[in-house]
Each structure stands twice: as structure tokens, then as C-alpha cells.
Amino acid sequence: MKVIAHRGYSGKYPENTMLAFQKAEEAGTDEIELDVQLTKEGTVVVIHDEKIDRTTDGTGFVKDYTYEELKKFNAAVLFPEVTGFQHIPSFEEYCAWAATTELTTNIEIKTGRYYYEDIEKKTIEIVRKYGLEKKVMFSSFNHLSLLKVKELMPEVECGALLSEIGLGNAGYYCHSYGFECYHPGFDGVTDEIVAGCKKYGIKMNVWTINTMDQLEKLEEWGCDGAITNYPQVCRAWKEYKKEVKR
């Protein structure tokens, strides 16, 4: 079961910043999960919300700023005791760094509320520029975006994101549309869903796993990845399990 750092090491550091990604690598994570959106002039940037209000000292929509303007806002305002100024990274900045590591990346296309023009194409172009084709996968709540990714990059894995409610017969659904993975919220997972995914060979990466009980349940289900805000805790739990089994 992979340790997947949710927006980087977001439990201790400002989410979706280079600091959070670097700290996740140091903590022994296997994979980074991050979110991409587009700026006013079409730069792919790493940020979760359509608006910058929650995570920065600015206000307004990502799409209404140029990247040069966005970089001036502090993306670390929720963690003043931990770090100083952190800018909103461009996806290209992230990829340049990721190419120097062994990490894989789960790229969430944020087209659920605002559909950015050509975001899939622009993101894939950057992935290819840095030779990361075999080290990435894509996910989205907007499954039309995943179909577009498959059209542009058929070989890449895609994961259908679902809310906490989940989706009945998810294994068949993902298989039918060529999605290799299913990414439900923990509360939307049942024994029946797990069995259906296994029947169709669909991998399950579950979010957001931040308790020991949740980790134990994912192991019991035989899930493929735990998307967590605390990758160091998850890694320590995995190492403990290895020792117990010896």
C-alpha cells in the first residue's frame, strides 16, 4: 500500500507548496498528490481551491490573476509558526523538482467547478517536458477531464475521484471507461465496493486517511494507496507492520 502525501505533508506544512512536497519526500512518502488550475494567462499552477482566500493572504479567483501576480501572495498563512513566506508554485516548478526524485505524482485536475480551457493539454505538455510520463497519474472529480487525458495520453493511469458518498458498482464503472483506479473518500468505501474493484482489476487509493483505524481498515481491504495528510505517521505504521510480520 503506497503512502500518498495529500497536497504534500499538509498536516504539518502549508498545503501544495514546495516546502510541503519536500517535507513529504523527507518523511518517506511514495507519491505526492497535488491539484492544478490555470491562471489568467494560462500558467498551470498548484493550488487546491478555485479562490486563493483560504490558503493565502490574498482574495479572489486563481483564474483572474497572472502567475506573476499570484506569486506575491503568501501560501503559508495557515502555518505562521512553522514557516515564513511560501509562494504558490507553478506546476513546471514542481515537475523540475520531482524529476530529481524517485517520487511518483498524482495530479488532480481541478475542473469540477470551473472548466479551464486546455488544462489537460497544458499539464501533459509539462509532464512530457520533464520526462515524467512513467511517474505520474491523473485524477479528477470531473471524469470528462479524465477522458480528455486518456485521449491525449492513453498510456497514463487515471483515477476517478468520488466524494465521501462514493459510487455504487465503482469497479464496473471504472473498467467501462478505461480508468485504472478508483479514488473514494474513506466513508464511501464498503466491502461490496472493494470486491467490485478487485473483480475488475481496479486499484483503490482512498482519501483522507489520518487515523490508525483507517489505516488498519485499508490494509484489511487490501487497498493500493492511502492518501494522507501525515505521510510520516503512515510510513512509521507501515514499517511497524513489517516488523510484526517478520
Catalytic residue IDs: 6, 48
Residue 74, classed as helix, strand or coil, is coil
Closest C-alpha to 206, from 160, 146, 144:
160
- Strands 31-38 and 44-46, sheet pairing: antiparallel
Contacting residues for 182 by C-beta, under 8 A, at least 6 apart: 159, 160, 162, 167, 170, 171, 174, 193, 197, 202, 203, 204, 205
Closest C-alpha to 107, from 146, 154, 163:
146
- CA torsion angle 2 236 185 139 (round to 10): -30
